[in-house]
Amino acid sequence: MDQADQLEQVDWVDWVEVPAGTLLRGTPAEELAAVARRYADTGVPAEWYLKEAPRAEVHVPAFRIARTQVTVAQWARFAVATDRPAPRGPGVHPVVGVTWEAANAYCRWLGERLGIDVRLPTEGEWERAARGDDGREFPWGDAYRTGLANLVDLGIGTTTPVGSFPEGASPFGVLDMAGNADEWTSTLYAPYPGAPAEVPLTEDWAFDRHVTRGGAYRHDRDLARCARRHGAYEQNLEAIGVGFRLAAPAPAPTPAPAPTARPARPIDLLP
């Protein structure tokens, strides 16, 4: 097996190309009270939703995002190469318990092998990949449906193989953007411009200040919402199910082939 074949089998990523477009980011301030009532049974305090406001139209340049989360098997190869502890769990499940710094180290390691700038998605990229071009509440639409994501209502109590819920795909075909593993982004928490005055400037109680998205198997349906901003609020990242997925710049456009010169036609001679 030559090196190219080995790289393809070991490090291949199923990239989804997300075109440049406008993200309807967050939640309109006037809808926050209704959102809190809709999910009151989850026990989430109403003030936790305030940091989703205000709704804004944000231009997001084109980028690539991995269709599924980084798996235990993928992380295991990185762990061997960098002398890190071996991960636990089935190889096709998402790796969890990964710090933000370690996730970035994996991105750099894989990027060097693939020759591209692999990184974590920004919070805006993540929400665009989950939400598409409209203001839908969940990756699959506006209504929550049990069975479209690995969340606490399924009662599984642990991760499932990545991509197990194809009917819960986002408009771009990205999988597991709700549930299974909570996902790191590259974005440090801060209030959105124009946020309600009650929104804290920092979340000093968080174990890490970077925003996570999507929720894990142990979370309720409120965290499946595309607009929901979350974080790593406990130190045991394995217990709370924190993992990640990859992003990269959009591929360079393929140059159009040069026009082929038309051969000159012979001049018809008059008799």
Instruction: Give the model's pLDDT for residue 12.
Output: 82
Please spell the DSSP secondary structure of 218-239, one letter per residue.
TS-GGGGSTT--EEE-SS-TTT
Length of the chain measured in residues: 271
Q: What are 10's two structure tokens?
A: 């070991």
Instruction: Give the model's pLDDT for residue 105.
Output: 98
Has this prediction a pTM greater than 0.75? yes
Q: Is residue 18 within 8 Å of residue 63, measured between CB atoms? A: yes
Angstrom distance (rounded) from CA 192 to CA 154:
33
Q: Which residues contact 116 (CB under 8 A, 6 or more apart)?
A: 248, 249
| HSE, side-chain direction, 13 A CA sphere, residue 195 | 19
Instruction: Give the model's pLDDT for residue 9.
Output: 52
Q: pLDDT by residue (tens digit) across 11-35?
A: 689 999 999 999 999 999 999 999 9
For tokens 């790796």, the residue is 95
Low-confidence ranges of the chain (pLDDT < 70): 1-11, 254-271
